[in-house]
Amino acid sequence: MTASRGQHLIGKMLGSCVLEKLLGYGGSSAVFLAQQQNPTRKVAVKVFLPRASMDIRMQRDFYRRFLREAEAVSKLEHANILPIYSYGEQDGLPYIVMPYMPGGTLAEYMSRRGPLSLQEARWYLEQLAAALDFAHQHGCVHCDVKPANILLDSDGHVILSDFGIARVTRPASDPADATDVKHSEALLGTPDYISPEQALGHHLDGRSDIYSLGVTLFFVLSKRLPFRADSTIALALLHVHEPPPSLALIRADITPLLDRVVRKALAKDPDDRFQTAQELSRAFAAAVEVGESRSTTTHPPELAFLDDEKYLASPAAQPLPPTPRPIVRVKPTWVREWSSTRIKRGILILMALMIIIATTGFSIKLMNGTTSRNHSAPTNIAARTTVTPTPPPMPTSPFALPGNWPQGTNAFFDQQHRYHIINTQAENAMPAPFQDYQVQDFKLSVKMLEATSKKGSPDFHGVIFRVAPDQSFFYLFEVSPRDNQECVFSRFSSSDPQAWYTIKNRRSAALKSGIGESNTITVEARGNTFFFSINGVPWLDQPLADPSTRGVKPGQIGVYVENQGEEVIFSELTVGTLK
């Protein structure tokens, strides 16, 4: 697509509207500022442009479907739905005439302001949920919920636009619907926000919009999409098969409850999602309130699904952070945690793809979940035929790319470009993975300064590395300066019967123990042997061999702070690849 797509229509009259300016364009449409002559007013006109790949039959079916459903959608009257003034077809171009909203879109607002606060997201979600539920009750599925289709007015209200391509819900057995899906499915929806059933060409209902709303919620809270790929087919495969990454590892003030709410909205099976948009909105609001009050009481009714064993065991819910409960120390698991006596391991349900065009797939790097000292084993993720793209080289100074680190009120860079992590969570550590990079044999060095610590509690903090894409394997090296100068090197492997294995636990006299003291740790990983030093002093007399027989694979690196009330400042992080 070129930037001039739709420019040739400027000056053209569609109905009673003269197209004056191209406001934006998408895969199959362009939006224009137009002057309507009767009545006289400025309007927005969306024109659907045929793609070069569409044959005559596909164009005819699409236009017929568009005109039939635009008629139904034009009858929707709701405060948070952009009305349709008129619609029609002229010179083979279907078009919709809508009010012009000079306030712009939510996507444009975020480009200026960054991720939304939790309260902003709650306010906008409440309005969007009301709009979607109203549309669903009147038999319309939006099919393209995304920030670019959410408009803002001067009073802070949101208006859902582009209902013109919504489909009218009808029984899945309706042959007319099946015909339309076959020929126009690819034109409806945006790959970044598409639901699994929409990607597969299955029958849609309002729960498809709830999935897209979940992707939208993920984006407005993190300013990144849960899935990224180089092609539409690749994105479709991710939406169908891959669990989303954890928001808690991307944004520091996302609590485990909020993470679970978003994950339920992004469940692969529509039956495992919230069944209405209002259910999602109420659960999100309840999770925000619980997080702000730091309540450890029973979940409110809106969060009752968190206690549903069926939900906890479903593949769509994996990986999940643990629910809060009293523990002494915490460890990262990056996969949902459960009691081995209560919940069986989930089984990933492979959905049959209608898109049979490729002999290879792909994988993405995922860093999911929060932490627990109980060391529960992550759920195995079923093997898939994938081709892992070659990652970019690991930068020697990862802190030079602040956008790849989680940031928020509890994780941020200061003016000296040092990275602060403040753990305010009572039962969870705060891991910070360096996103989108993997290393195998490397030498890592980082300076850690413990700025504050909760009196009478351990103060473990350190580094994480070689985290596998499916979270089935990773290493931890942690130090506790005030806890007998303890240093611990651990390995997690889902293939081991006990999952967790402490490779070495030994004190280091080189570890400075005072608040405000800096400690520099160095990790050198080469194959299955490791060398650690603390403030330039070797932790052990010789390299430490990992007795695991598992093959060495690359993975992500990161840092973490384990205990509530502890603030650690990380600086001078360097990584070099070993040959």
Pair 266, 215: CB distance under 8 Å: yes
Q: How many CB atoms lie within 10 A of CB 406?
A: 27
- Those residues of the chain that have pLDDT short of 50 are 1-3, 171-187, 296, 309-389
Sign of torsion over alpha carbons 189, 259, 264, 230: positive
Query: Which parts are annotated binding residues?
Result: 46
The whole-angstrom separation of Cα 351 and Cα 345 is 19
The whole-angstrom separation of Cα 336 and Cα 366 is 13
Q: How many CB atoms lie within 10 A of CB 346?
A: 20
Query: For position 335, what pLDDT does the model report?
Result: 32
Q: What is the pTM of this model?
A: 0.55
Query: For position 333, what pLDDT does the model report?
Result: 34
Query: For position 471, what pLDDT does the model report?
Result: 58
Report the candidate in 211, 59, 202, 229 with the shortest Cα–Cα distance to residue 146: 211
Which amino acids are annotated catalytic?
Answer: 144
Q: Which helix (H) or strand (E) holds 241?
A: helix 232-241
Give the pairing of strands 529-534 and 486-493.
unpaired
Query: Which parts are annotated binding residues for ATP?
Result: 46
List residues bridging with 567 in a β-sheet: 422, 452
Q: How many CB atoms lie within 10 A of CB 104?
A: 13
Query: For position 320, what pLDDT does the model report?
Result: 35
List pLDDT tens digits, range 11-54: 999 999 999 998 877 656 788 999 999 889 999 998 887 666 66
Query: For position 334, what pLDDT does the model report?
Result: 35
Q: Fold for domain 398-577? A: Jelly Rolls (2.60.120)
Q: Which two tokens stand for residue 353?
A: 């793809």
CA-to-CA dists, residue 316 to 232, 264, 310, 338, angstroms: 22, 7, 11, 15
For the chain, counts of helices (H) and of strands (E): 10, 24
DSSP 161-230: --GGG-EE---TT-HHHHHHHHHHGGGSS-GGG--HHHHTT----HHHHHHHHHHHHHHHHHSS-S---S
The whole-angstrom separation of Cα 420 and Cα 399 is 11
List pLDDT tens digits, range 324-362: 322 223 333 333 332 333 323 332 333 333 333 333 333
H-assigned helices in 267-403: 277-293, 309-313
Angle, vertex CA 495, rays to CA 494 and CA 497, nearest 5: 90
The whole-angstrom separation of Cα 558 and Cα 476 is 10
Pair 501, 491: CB distance under 8 Å: yes
Three-class secondary structure assignment of 400-421: HCHHHCCCECCEEECCCCCEEE
Pair 406, 432: CB distance under 8 Å: yes
List residues bridging with 19 in a β-sheet: 34
The whole-angstrom separation of Cα 339 and Cα 316 is 18
The whole-angstrom separation of Cα 330 and Cα 485 is 18
- Residue 81 has what DSSP assignment? B
Residue length of the chain: 579
The whole-angstrom separation of Cα 332 and Cα 375 is 8
Q: Which two tokens stand for residue 102?
A: 């000079």
| Cis ω for the linkage preceding 39 (within 30 of 0) | yes
Domain boundaries, the chain: 398-577
Residue type, 49: L
The whole-angstrom separation of Cα 437 and Cα 397 is 12
Q: Which residues contact 13 (CB under 8 A, 6 or more apart)?
A: 19
The whole-angstrom separation of Cα 206 and Cα 142 is 8
